[in-house]
């Protein structure tokens, strides 16, 4: 998922925040007796999301800010529970064929949309085919290419009826895959594969833009949305697992400036916040105000290979080779991030779950100033002479600015390149990436599921999130082969070979592997970052001991 998220966007996420759950059971507290007028205090949390969500339509969501809100408002077939384990959500159970290519999901009976309509298997079939429909133009359509004829439908080669997903009745969803997909159940927990109320969506294409028309099936419902200011979510009494939702209200505010956010947190106006100012990170971690959790996501720079001189592989290699990643994580970010040694971060299984894909792949990034100077000269720009000015684009944040300033200085000092910086508001920045209106742009990728493929298939030719516009036939062949084999040895081997090609041609320059730095007020309980998702999970949130 992009920009963490990008949803910035955008994700080791394998960690439960150090707050322990007080237990998952229990209804919303009631008055001590029926004759008392005293009500239990409202359990409410204020969380700073930062950027305004670009959309709350599941199919079109691409960033972490959107994913965070959707995870509270919606629920897929599966969901990560409080123990960070993948468990049935809207599905009651699943039967999987011996060859791993057919899944039959039994949908829970009695579930309701927030408008009172029943949630059925037809809502999942509709949503998944809508995601794949080429007219939808969803960047994340490729997540469902593992479904039989999914890619062909997206390319206009077959009809929707030929796609391997079908509701055989209101509570049975049959899914046929192109090939066994080890991470398919993980995919069903992704927000892009959430259900959509077919009747509502067909009657009003803008259903997802206003609280009055928004229809969800998750633990919370959308009560208010003041654009660029806040969203208000309240407990959904019709949610199938409402007994385990203890929070009455979740207010999501939209403060992008991290310094303002920290002031509000320290003054008690915010209960949960991420992305502390880099100058304050060490202090906040030391005094226990913030916690730093490993996060299998990658912070990188996207190089627009359609623009000169970035169409030249030697220029791209030179730009990467003079970046001192160790200096950036030690002197700029300062939260325990690891210098990137490849594109795929640590935390994903290799041939067996006990082996790590990154460790097995080794270090694929070289830092060599002398070699970089030679490459730049070979590209026709000795000591940077004749080299066009490079612009670094990032979404508006002092933290991104400090990183950009550091890298710009490295490029200037080592290669003689002129660099300028450009900051944009989140939605404008996303539009610029999609349109290719940039030279170099900050990117961040967090995983959508527990497999290295969640990083690798981003960069296939024409991919919805391939913002570098890079294309390599051998890379495409390797990724396609990995997706269409039953042999785990071939699958993993192909991904390692593809990553080596990616890091040799360098359409993206990995900078570091994330950690998730989050600040929690002491009364916040049960909020955590699920595995393979860089969002905060509020389903099991509670408030205890708040004065």
pLDDT in tens, the chain (547 residues): 653 433 333 333 333 333 333 333 333 333 333 444 457 789 999 999 998 999 999 999 988 888 899 999 999 999 989 888 899 999 999 999 999 999 999 999 999 999 999 999 999 999 999 999 999 999 999 999 999 999 999 999 999 999 999 999 999 999 999 999 989 999 999 999 999 999 999 999 999 999 999 999 999 999 999 999 999 999 999 999 999 999 999 999 999 899 999 999 999 999 999 888 888 998 999 999 998 887 899 999 999 999 999 999 999 999 999 999 999 999 999 888 999 999 999 999 999 989 999 999 999 999 999 999 999 999 999 999 999 999 999 998 888 999 999 999 999 999 999 999 999 998 899 999 999 999 999 999 989 888 999 999 999 999 989 999 999 999 999 999 999 888 999 999 999 999 999 999 999 999 999 988 899 999 999 998 877 666 889 999 999 988 7
Are the CB atoms for 165 and 124 separated by under 8 Å? yes
Nearest to 363 by CA among 328, 404, 325, 333: 325
Distance of CA 361 to the CA centre of its chain: 23
User: What is the distance between the alpha carbons of residues 177 and 163, in angstroms, rounded to a whole number?
Assistant: 9
- Distance of alpha carbon 528 from its chain centroid, rounded? 15
Contact between residue 173 and residue 184 where contact means Cβ atoms under 8 Å apart: no
Instruction: Walk me through the domains of the chain, giving residue ranges and CATH numbers.
Output: 75-217 (3.90.76.10)
77 vs 107: CA distance, rounded Å = 8
d(CA 437, CA 456): 24
Q: How far apart are CA 515 and CA 517, in angstroms?
A: 6
Task: Give the closest residue to 72 by CA, choosing from 254, 255, 217, 272.
Answer: 217
Say what the pLDDT of residue 295 is.
Answer: 86
Element containing residue 395 per DSSP (H, E): strand 390-395
Give the model's pLDDT for residue 529.
82
Return the ∠ at Cα 488 (arms to 483 and 494), rounded to 5°: 55
Predicted structure pTM score: 0.82
**Quick one: residue 110, left, alpha or beta (phi over 0 = left, psi -120 to 50 = alpha)?**
left
Q: What is the pLDDT of residue 3?
A: 39
pLDDT score at 2: 55
Q: How far is CA 329 from the centre of its chain?
A: 22
Looking only at the bridges linking them, the beta strands covering 440-445 and 390-395 are: parallel
Q: Compute the distance between CA of residue 22 and CA of residue 288 in angstroms, rounded to an integer.
A: 20
């Amino acid at each position: 998922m992009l920009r963490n998220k990008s949803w910035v966007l955008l994700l080791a996420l394998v960690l439960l925040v150090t707050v322990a759950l007080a237990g998952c059971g229990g209804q919303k507290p009631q008055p001590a007796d029926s004759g008392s007028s005293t009500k239990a205090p409202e359990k409410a949390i204020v969380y700073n999301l930062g950027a305004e969500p670009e959309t709350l339509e599941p199919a079109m969501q691409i960033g972490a800010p959107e994913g965070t809100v959707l995870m509270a408002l919606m629920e897929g077939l599966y969901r990560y529970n409080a123990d960070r384990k993948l468990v049935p959500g809207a599905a009651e159970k699943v039967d999987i064929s011996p060859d791993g290519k057919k899944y039959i999901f039994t949908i829970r009976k009695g579930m309701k949309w927030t408008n009172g309509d029943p949630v059925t298997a037809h809502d999942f079939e509709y949503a998944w085919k809508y995601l794949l429909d080429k007219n939808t133009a969803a960047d994340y359509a490729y997540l469902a290419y593992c479904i039989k004829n999914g890619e062909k439908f997206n390319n206009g080669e077959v009809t929707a009826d030929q796609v391997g997903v079908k509701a055989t009745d209101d509570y049975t969803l049959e899914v046929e895959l192109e090939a066994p997909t080890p991470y398919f159940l993980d995919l069903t927990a992704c927000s892009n594969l959430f259900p959509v109320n077919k009747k509502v969506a067909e009657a009003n294409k803008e259903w997802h833009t206003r609280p009055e028309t928004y229809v969800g099936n998750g633990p919370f419902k959308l009560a208010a949305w003041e654009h660029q200011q806040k969203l208000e979510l309240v407990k959904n009494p019709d949610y199938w697992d409402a007994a385990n939702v203890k929070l009455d209200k979740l207010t999501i505010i939209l403060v992008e400036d991290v310094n303002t956010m920290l002031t509000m947190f320290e003054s008690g106006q915010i209960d949960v916040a991420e992305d502390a100012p880099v100058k304050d990170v060490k202090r906040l971690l030391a005094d226990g105000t913030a916690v730093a959790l490993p996060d299998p996501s990658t912070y990188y720079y996207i190089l627009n290979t359609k623009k000169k001189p970035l169409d030249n592989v030697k220029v791209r290699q030179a730009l990467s080779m003079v970046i001192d990643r160790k200096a950036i994580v030690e002197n700029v970010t300062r939260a325990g991030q690891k210098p990137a040694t490849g594109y795929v971060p640590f935390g994903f299984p290799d041939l067996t779950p006990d082996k790590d894909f990154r460790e097995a792949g080794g270090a694929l990034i070289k830092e060599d100033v002398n070699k970089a100077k030679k490459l730049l000269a070979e590209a026709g720009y000795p000591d940077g002479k004749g080299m066009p000015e490079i612009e670094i684009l990032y979404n508006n944040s002092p933290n991104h600015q400090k990183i950009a300033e550091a890298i710009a200085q490295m490029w200037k000092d080592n290669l003689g390149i002129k660099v300028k910086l450009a900051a944009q508001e989140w939605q404008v920045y996303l539009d610029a990436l999609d349109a290719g209106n940039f030279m170099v742009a900050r990117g961040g990728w967090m995983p959508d599921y527990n497999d290295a493929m969640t990083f690798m298939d981003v960069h296939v030719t024409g991919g919805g999130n391939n913002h570098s516009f890079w294309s390599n036939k051998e890379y495409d062949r390797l990724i396609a082969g990995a997706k269409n084999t039953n042999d785990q040895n071939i699958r993993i081997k192909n991904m390692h070979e593809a990553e080596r090609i990616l890091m040799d041609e360098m359409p993206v320059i990995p900078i570091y592997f994330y950690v998730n730095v989050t600040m929690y007020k002491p009364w916040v309980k049960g909020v955590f970052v699920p595995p393979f998702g860089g969002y905060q999970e509020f389903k099991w949130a509670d408030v205890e001991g708040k004065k």
